[in-house]
């Protein structure tokens, strides 16, 4: 099958269906065609895209970013490195610098980029609130940030919870701690992006639920994550808005 025919069929599939009741449109995150062998054609997974991202930006305004680099270039290209280092008032975001988060889940795909309103949980080697939040709440336009104190002794999140979270349309998860079942996530083809310190096969305790949306937020990696602020993240880094609401 020729490349042009494949692309026409793909576009027909993507745009022939009407938008769903919750005003979500299906979009193609990326497309790759292996021209050297026309029998070998691979398409990346389709993800749900909510057009309310970026506070209703019009199509003729700044193009919607697809990487953290795009966010910086599109909104803050006029700022110098000195401005950021000196914590200049003109800078509207902070960048995670003191913590090396690794990609898991959908973030295995290095093109993965996610953003959304922050919900925070502070817990240490216990995950009842993590499970309750991800499995019982809608995650549309939301990213869960979990401060587990950086513990590597147990996992705060596993494949079962991640699968339900994806079904609840969470945009992504950032964990200052460990997760587990990463092979299961890959085998199941989970698309939800997860950034975490590392992995551990040991499950967490259930004794202490922790605290959800603490008043002063959670702080790790040199950044304060506050509920209501927005996070923009991919394999290049994590950006957090200093004020509530998305970058506009």
Residues 6+ apart with CB under 8 A from 109: 44
pTM over 0.85: no
Distance CA 59, CA 56 (A): 9
Single out the residue of 166, 168, 185, 177 nearest to residue 127, CA to CA: 177
pLDDT for the residue 82: 54
Q: Is 222 annotated as a binding residue?
A: no
- List the domains of the chain with CATH numbers: 3-49 (no CATH), 56-241 (3.50.30.40)
Say whether 180 counts as a known binding-site residue: yes
Whether residue 125 is annotated as binding a ligand: the answer is no
DSSP state of 106: G
Is 8 part of any known ligand binding site?
no
Query: How do the pLDDT tens digits run along the chain, 248 residues long?
Result: 554 444 445 444 444 444 444 333 333 333 232 333 333 222 223 333 333 333 333 334 456 778 888 888 777 655 555 555 455 666 788 888 878 899 998 777 666 899 999 999 999 999 999 999 999 999 999 999 999 999 999 999 999 999 999 999 999 999 999 999 999 998 888 899 999 999 999 999 998 889 999 999 999 999 999 999 999 999 889 999 988 888 76
Do residues 140 and 172 make contact, with C-beta atoms less than 8 angstroms apart? no
| Residue 172 assigned as binding residue | no
pLDDT at 86: 54
Do the annotations mark residue 115 as ligand-binding?
Answer: no
Q: What is the DSSP letter of 45?
A: P
């Amino acid at each position: 099958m020729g490349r042009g025919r494949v692309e026409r069929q793909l576009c027909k599939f993507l745009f022939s269906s009407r938008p769903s009741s919750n005003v979500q449109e299906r979009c193609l995150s990326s497309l790759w065609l292996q021209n050297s062998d026309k029998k070998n054609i691979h398409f990346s997974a389709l993800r749900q895209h909510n057009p309310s991202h970026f506070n209703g930006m019009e199509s003729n305004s700044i193009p919607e970013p697809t990487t953290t680099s795009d966010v910086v270039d599109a909104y803050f290209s006029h700022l110098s490195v000195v401005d950021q280092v000196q914590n200049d008032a003109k800078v509207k975001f902070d960048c995670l610098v003191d913590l090396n988060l690794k990609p898991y889940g959908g973030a295995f795909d290095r093109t993965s980029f996610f953003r959304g309103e922050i919900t925070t949980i502070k817990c240490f080697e216990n995950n009842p609130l993590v499970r309750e939040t991800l499995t019982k709440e809608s995650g549309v336009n939301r990213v869960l940030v979990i401060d587990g104190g950086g513990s590597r002794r147990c996992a705060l999140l596993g494949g079962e919870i991640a699968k339900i979270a994806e079904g609840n349309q969470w945009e992504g998860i950032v964990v200052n701690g460990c997760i587990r079942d990463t092979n299961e996530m890959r085998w199941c083809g989970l698309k939800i992006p997860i950034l975490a310190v590392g992995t551990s096969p040991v499950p967490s305790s259930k004794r202490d639920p922790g605290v959800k949306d603490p008043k002063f937020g959670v702080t790790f990696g040199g950044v304060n994550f506050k509920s209501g602020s927005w996070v923009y993240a991919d394999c290049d880094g994590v950006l957090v808005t200093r004020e509530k609401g998305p970058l506009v």
